[in-house]
């Protein structure tokens, strides 16, 4: 692999690492979990608790 190709690949990798950081993952996860809640519960602000 040429030096230019390695540099381009490394830059692309760093871009993805910066974009998909822990904050992105946590906000995406939390939004997906909210999207799974029944609409009536979400509208009424009802939260389920374990136990």
* Secondary structure of 1-51 in HEC code, one letter for each residue: CCHHHHHHHHHHHHHHHHHCCHHHHHHHHHHHHHHHCCHHHHHHCCCCCCC
In this prediction the pTM is: 0.52
Instruction: Report the pLDDT value the prediction gives residue 41, as an integer from 0 to 100.
Output: 65
pLDDT at res. 37: 78
Q: 21: helix, coil or strand?
A: coil
Tens-digit pLDDT profile for residues 1-51? 999 999 999 999 999 999 999 999 999 999 998 888 776 666 676 666 665
């Amino acid at each position: 692999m040429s030096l230019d190709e390695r540099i381009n690949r490394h830059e692309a990798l760093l871009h993805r690492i910066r974009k998909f950081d822990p904050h992105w993952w946590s906000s995406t996860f939390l939004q997906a979990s909210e999207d799974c809640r029944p609409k009536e519960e979400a509208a009424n602000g009802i939260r389920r608790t374990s136990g």
